[in-house]
Amino acid sequence: MPTAVEEVLRPDDVIVAVCDRAHEELDHPRSRLHWSIPDPVPAGTRAAFEEAYADIQRRIHQLLNLHDQRRGIEAS
């Protein structure tokens, strides 16, 4: 069941929209990232879902690395 962003959002959270429609419909004052990742449902293949998952996983790791780098700079 979908949950409103306001119900789960914490002060330090980052919003990431992974769907074009969600990005366009999300009416929230906080800035967010938009990752345009193709919807695997229309293809309906295991490969399409694995590719979407791998893309999201790669981007999360990049985001975490950037976060860690910035924390390291701030700690200096």
State residue 55's pLDDT score: 96
How far is it, in rounded angstroms, from Cα 68 to Cα 43? 36
Residue 65: which pLDDT band, with cuts at 50, 70 and 90? very high
The CA distances from residue 29 to 15, 43, 67, in Å, are 11, 34, 22
What pLDDT does residue 42 have? 94
pLDDT confidence bin for 57, thresholds 50/70/90:
very high
Residue 48: the pLDDT is 96
Query: For residue range 10-54, what is the model confidence (pLDDT) as tens digits?
Result: 888 888 888 756 656 666 666 778 888 888 999 999 999 999 999
Cα separation, 38 vs 46, whole angstroms: 14
17 neighbors 38 (Cβ within 8 angstroms): no
